[in-house]
Amino acid sequence: MITTKIPESEAELIARAQALAGLTLGEIARQEKIKIPKNLNKEKGWIGLLLEQVLGASAGSKPIPDFPHLGVELKTIPIDRHGKPLETTFVCVAPLTGLVGATWQNSHIKNKLSKVLWVPVISERIIPVADRIVGTPFLWSPSVEEEQLLAQDWQELTDMIVLGEVENIHGKHGQILQLRPKAANSQAKTKAFNKNGKPFMTLPRGFYLKTAFTQQLINRFLRIN
């Protein structure tokens, strides 16, 4: 971010991302003069931050797209050598309050997922971080069908939150989206409302895309390209 030029167009961003395909994280980190961790135990977001920097993301930790002028969100996705996602994909924190009048259309998550540059990284744990290879990036926007599914899941999960049932939500709710803890630890607390409309403190949650869904995206783009 400090020395990398911000991409001026979507085409430039994609070109820059495609230029990374086939490179190892070690090669990219050396180029950026970033120290490579032995594992990701203590730096779980390291790969994402590395790619943000080399691609010129400018949003920092602000709650806006990584490339605000392009409306593009950057997401790295760990895959195995066959292209299978190794983890669910965190999207954003789930609001547990202030949901009166909330709609899918005006939701933070809808905005975040409107245009995503996916950068797969072959990231099996047995492969040293420095030797992990960047795959072929692809730009994705939800199809009508995909957005329908996202909106449906968002509505179901949001309805439960509004009804004070956030603590009854489990990973199986939602077809492609799920709600799970997203916090520093299990002691973290944020405000929510119970069934009687009374405030109480609960674990912060986030929206995640299930691996079956991201697998479909990868399959589709690998087939077309």
Partner DNA sequence: ATCTGATCATTG
Partner DNA sequence: CAATGATCAGAT
Query: Site residues (CB under 7 A) for DNA?
Result: 39-45, 47-49, 51-52, 59-63, 66, 73-78, 87-90, 92-93, 95, 108, 112, 121, 123, 125, 170-172, 178, 180-191, 203-204, 206, 210-212
- CA–CA separation, 52 vs 59, rounded Å? 9
User: Which CB atom, from 41 or from 106, has the smaller least distance to DNA?
Assistant: 41
Minimum gap (Å) between residue 196 Cβ and DNA? 21
Minimum gap (Å) between residue 11 Cβ and DNA? 21
Minimum gap (Å) between residue 37 Cβ and DNA? 9
Minimum gap (Å) between residue 23 Cβ and DNA? 16
User: Which CB atom, from 60 or from 144, has the smaller least distance to DNA?
Assistant: 60
Minimum gap (Å) between residue 144 Cβ and DNA? 25
- Reading the block at residue 65, the tokens are 């797209």
- CA–CA separation, 134 vs 31, rounded Å? 15
- CA–CA separation, 142 vs 223, rounded Å? 17
Minimum gap (Å) between residue 171 Cβ and DNA? 3
Which residue has tokens 């040293």?
A: 128
User: Which CB atom, from 41 or from 105, has the smaller least distance to DNA?
Assistant: 41
Indicate the angle between helix axes 10-18 and 46-55, nearest 10 degrees.
120
User: Which CB atom, from 100 or from 144, has the smaller least distance to DNA?
Assistant: 100
User: Which CB atom, from 180 or from 221, has the smaller least distance to DNA?
Assistant: 180
User: Which CB atom, from 124 or from 159, has the smaller least distance to DNA?
Assistant: 124
3-state helix, strand, coil in the chain (%, to 5): 30, 20, 50
8 Å CB contact between 54 and 26: no
- CA–CA separation, 70 vs 110, rounded Å? 16
Q: How far is CA 96 from CA 9, 64, 162, 178, in A?
A: 36, 19, 8, 14
In residues, how long is the chain? 225
